[in-house]
């Protein structure tokens, strides 16, 4: 009997993917609620052929070394892959899988939900009610901002940015985008009525700034003191990309000093945000725990995709969704 390939799965992903992995592999699955500690990962990957990782796990050269030279594939259960050292994996000829496409609309839904919740002060309203403070209808109670007709600036106009633009159309918003990798005459931009602008124009003119960029050296703290100084004092910042795209200290100052109006965050730096973070002491902030892709259907699809990537890599086949296609050159 041929031995099944060995894999380490760093958390229990939905059954739709886990069942495929268990079927094809001898799987060591980390079933705790919290991610395995670094030392645990280094220990558990020893001798494996594949790793199915989460965005909470750093998969760098040391982890690949600990696994050994038989390591054939790394499959990340996320569209983002900033937790994996892609250059190092490529250098070693290891393909890295990710899960693009299946979470686009679910993530765009949450970005829009955050935008609306911040604009209309939904979370503050709920806290107000629960605190027994709703005594009467108030002419100036919890006044927010209109969404229809407002200007939305999208930083990053990839799949998710475009999906947010489509939603904004339904609200008659003016949509601006800035993305150095997308041409100004992009056909999809025309289709959704979005206009390419430089970053300064986007920051200056937007009522809502929503972030949809990868995290890399160029985008680390892209939104910091300089950016906040250019934004409207009423501007609402929405982040469903990666926490470190925003400088958290500058964000706190900007919100406290009224340089911008509100922030609605699905991602933070650090993550999770500590309960005593000064940001959580402000009323004009909403923070949810990195749940943009968290629908039952989408997490199931992501699990299947991550499993299929892993299995293809173990079979020596091309990964259906590969974050480092240059590995095949």
Contact 232, 260 (CB under 8 A): yes
- Per-residue contact flags (x/-) with ligand DGY for residues 241 to 280, judged by CB under 6 A: ----------------------------------------
Among residues 63, 64, 74, 78, the one that binds ligand DGY under rule CB under 6 A: 78
Question: Is 290 among the catalytic positions?
Answer: yes
Give the footprint of ligand DGY on residues 10-69 (CB under 6 A): 55
Q: Exposed/middle/buried for 181, CB within 10 Å: 0-12, 13-18, 19+?
A: exposed
Whether omega before 252 lies within 30 degrees of 0, making that bond cis, reads no
252 has catalytic annotation: no
| Binding positions for ligand DGY, 290-309, rule CB under 6 A | 293
Q: Is 178 a catalytic residue?
A: no
* CB-based contact 6:47 (threshold 8 Å): yes
Stretch that binds ligand DGY, among 30-38, 75-83, 175-183, 207-215 (CB under 6 A): 75-83
In this chain, which stretch among 73-81, 121-129, 178-186, 191-199 interacts with ligand DGY, using CB under 6 A? 73-81
Distance of CA 94 to the CA centre of its chain: 24
Q: Which of 121, 159, 242, 299 is catalytic?
A: 242
If the CB atoms of residues 90 and 239 are measured against ligand DGY, the closer one turns out to be: 239
Q: Let me know the angle formed at the C-alpha of 57 by 54 and 62, rounded to the nearest 5 degrees.
A: 130
Q: Which of 13, 41, 67, 79 binds ligand DGY (CB under 6 A)?
A: 79
Is residue 210 part of the contact set for ligand DGY (CB under 6 A)?
no
Nearer to ligand DGY by C-beta: 56 or 145? 56
Q: What is the 3-state secondary structure (H, E, C) of 106-175?
A: HHHHHHHHHHHHHHCCHHHHHHHHHCCCCCCCCCCCCCCCCCCCCEEEEECCCHHHHHHHHHHHCCCCEE
Q: How many residues sit close enough to ligand DGY to count as binding (CB under 6 A)?
A: 6
170, burial (CB in 10 Å: exposed 0-12, middle 13-18, buried 19+): exposed
- Please choose, out of 74-82, 83-91, 140-148, 162-170, the segment that lies near ligand DGY by the rule CB under 6 A: 74-82
Q: Toward ligand DGY, which CB reaches closer, 73 or 235?
A: 73
Among 80, 95, 97, 153, binds ligand DGY (CB under 6 A): 80
Q: How far is the CB of 212 from ligand DGY (least distance, A)?
A: 11
- Rule CB under 6 A: which of 90-149 touch ligand DGY? 103
**Alpha carbon separation from 34 to 18, 27, 61, 98, 171 (Å, rounded):** 18, 19, 23, 21, 39
In the bound state with ligand DGY, the residue whose beta carbon lies nearer, of 13 and 189, is 13
What residues are annotated to the active site? 242, 271, 290
Interface contacts to ligand DGY, rule CB under 6 A: 55, 78-80, 103, 293
């Amino acid at each position: 009997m041929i031995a099944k390939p060995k894999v380490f799965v760093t958390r229990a992903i939905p059954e739709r993917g886990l069942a495929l992995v268990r079927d094809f592999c001898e799987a060591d699955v980390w079933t705790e609620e919290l991610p395995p500690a670094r030392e645990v990962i280094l220990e558990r990957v020893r001798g494996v052929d594949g790793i199915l990782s989460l965005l909470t796990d750093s998969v760098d050269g040391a982890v690949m070394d600990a696994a050994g030279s038989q390591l054939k594939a790394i499959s990340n259960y996320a569209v983002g892959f900033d937790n994996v050292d892609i250059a190092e994996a490529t250098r070693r000829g290891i393909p890295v899988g990710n899960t693009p496409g299946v979470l686009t609309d679910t993530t765009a839904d949450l970005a829009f939900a955050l935008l609306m919740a911040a604009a209309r002060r939904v979370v503050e309203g709920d806290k107000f009610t629960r605190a027994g403070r709703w005594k009467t209808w108030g002419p100036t109670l919890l006044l927010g901002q209109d969404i229809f007709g407002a200007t939305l600036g999208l930083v990053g106009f990839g799949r998710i940015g475009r999906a947010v633009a489509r939603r904004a159309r339904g609200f008659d918003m003016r949509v601006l985008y800035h993305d150095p990798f997308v041409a100004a005459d992009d056909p999809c931009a025309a289709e959704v009525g979005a206009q390419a602008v430089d970053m300064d124009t986007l920051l200056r003119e937007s009522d809502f700034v929503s972030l949809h960029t990868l995290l890399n050296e160029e985008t680390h703290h892209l939104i910091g003191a300089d950016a906040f100084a250019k934004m409207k004092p009423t501007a609402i910042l929405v982040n469903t990309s990666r926490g470190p795209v925003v400088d958290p200290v500058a964000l706190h100052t900007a919100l406290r000093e009224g340089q911008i109006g509100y922030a609605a965050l699905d991602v933070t730096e650090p993550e999770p945000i500590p309960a005593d973070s000064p940001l959580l002491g402000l009323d004009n902030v909403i923070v949810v725990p990195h749940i943009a892709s968290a629908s039952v259907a989408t997490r199931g699809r992501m699990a299947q995709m991550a499993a299929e990537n892993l299995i293809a890599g173990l079979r020596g086949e091309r990964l259906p969704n590969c974050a480092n296609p240059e590995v095949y050159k």
